[in-house]
Structures are given as structure tokens and as C-alpha cells.
Structure 1
């Protein structure tokens, strides 16, 4: 996803929420867009991600993330894997923070057979990926393409909004 978001005028960073620093919080506070992501485990995000959301929630009172773009992504072992519950958690958090939610728009197979693997889980609230269960990669190839396209979509919207502020 970060590879799709990176462009000439776009900076994309991946932050490990288990090792947050003051610099990481400053980076999030200054970002135009924040994509929330975590594996789906036992029907939701892992416990540590809940701690991150609570820490980020400190910005709620002063609307520190108001009008930032937001989106979400998750991965699970099974094609369903209750990924929707994770994305709902992210989107509700973003709504509470006053953020503007963006979902993917990529239509793959079976609608467009030539796009086999793109948005294979049919996720529209956010990016859903499925574990590849192979040594080649952590997720399916089509999910990587969907992630790059989703990152590019969010970056493009952020760039348009920045342009309208000028």
C-alpha cells in the first residue's frame, strides 16, 4: 500500500504501532491521511492495536485529526475471517475522530475476468487481504496489487485536497 501511495509529491511511512515514539505521533499528527491496518485475529484487531487506538484517541477532545483522510486494511487466514469487523472498528474510530473515510474502488474478477485476484475478497469498506500460506509472500499477489491501487487512490485524493487548499 505504501508503494502505491508514494509519488512525486507524496510521502508514505509505515509505522509499527508497537514501538511508537514522539516522532511517530508527530508524523501522524501532521499527515494528510492515515491508513489504519492490523491483522484480524479472533474477530477483531489484536489487543495491542486497541491500546494504540486508545492512545490516538487522546486527540479526540481537540479534534486533532479532524478532516484527515482515513482508510483501513486488514489480513486474515481465511477469505472471510471476520475482516469486516476489523474494518468497522477502524471506520467507527475514524468517524469519532472527525476523519474522512476512503475505501477501495477496484473491481476484479468475476466481473472483470482479466483482473483475477484484484479485490478478491470484495472489500469496499477497506482493503481485505488473505494470507497466501506460502513461502513466496505473506498475502496473495492480487491483494498486493489491490493494496498498491488503494494506496495510490488515497494519495491522489490527499493531493487533490491539498491543491484545493491553495
Structure 2
């Protein structure tokens, strides 16, 4: 079984909802997914990252980039970077913001560069939704290919639109396929 760590920071629960959806999709694909809130990491969490086959990075987009709490996690990995302990692990990113564009691409780009600095191999989005594929209305609504991009919903019982959660589920399945393929 492959091990996937899902690192995230969630300010109001939206990013956690995406992390939970990804973990559920990965579990259905026989992958062991470990959720790691970067604001409360313990030594076992750092060990899980080192032992994982893939690491997913998730943060809300605040003011055009990843939330400061997630950026602090990124900065805390400098010793890991120096030793290239994550080199050749697979990586992917996900983010959520209030507006459909919401500068989420900037957050995904920062996550991607972070992964590249660690020598990781990035997994992007592969879902083509409507208007190109009319059979998939609402899938990958923002047309983001660098990772999973979702939009918040004002209904606090829902947090993220069901279409974005469906896209997250599909993204999780893609990640599972890639990890199984590359973790031989």
C-alpha cells in the first residue's frame, strides 16, 4: 500500500473539507492517507512525511498566496531541503479562495516551486469539464491545471461547492493512479 501525506492549513474549514475529500478518494483507491495540520505538527508527522510516497500541499489563498501558516510550514523545511530528503517523492497542491479566479494560481505556483526545490515530481490536474466536455458540468470550473482549485461557498454547512468536491475526488483518484505507477 502506498502512503500519502496530506499537509494543510485551514482557516475556516474550507481547505480541511478539500483535504478530507482527497483523503476519502485516496482511501477508496487503497492508498493510506494521513492528514497533517501544519499548525500542530509533532515529530511523528515529520516522520510520516519522510516515509510517504507522495505529499499533498493544501492552503487557502489569502491575499494572492498561501496563508501565512502554510508558508511557515514551507519555511520550516529548510533542513529537509538541504538534505533533499523529499527528492523523487510525488507532490500535488490544492487551494481554495472566495472568488472563482481569486489568484489561486499564484498559490499553486508557489507550492509547485516549493516542491521543485525539494526535488519532487509534480502531479497536475487532468479533468476537462464543461464547456469543453458537456458531460462533466462543474468539473474543474476554474480550468486550473497546476492543481486543485476550489471556490468557497457562503453556506457554512457546505463550505465548498459540490462540483469542486467532485473535482477534488477525481483529483484524488488521479493522484492515487500516479503514486501507484511511480512507487514501484
TM-score (normalised: structure 2)? 0.85
Higher RCO (CA-CA < 8 Å; seq separation 6+) = 1
Structure 1: any 5+ residue segments left out of the alignment? none
Partner of 2:42: 21
Aligned 1:66-145 pairs, distance under 5 A: 66-145=87-166
Deviations 1:85-114 (A, max 9, x none): 100100000000000000110011111222
Matched length: 163
Residues of 1 paired with 2:40 and 2:130: CA distance? 38
Partner of 2:57: 36
Partner of 1:147: 168
Residues of 1 paired with 2:46 and 2:160: CA distance? 28
Structure 2: any 5+ residue segments left out of the alignment? 1-21
Residues of 2 paired with 1:8 and 1:72: CA distance? 19
The alignment yields a C-alpha RMSD, in angstroms, of 1.2
Contact 1:102-1:154 within 8 A present in 2 as well: yes
Contact 1:5-1:153 within 8 A present in 2 as well: no
TM-score (normalised: structure 1)? 0.94
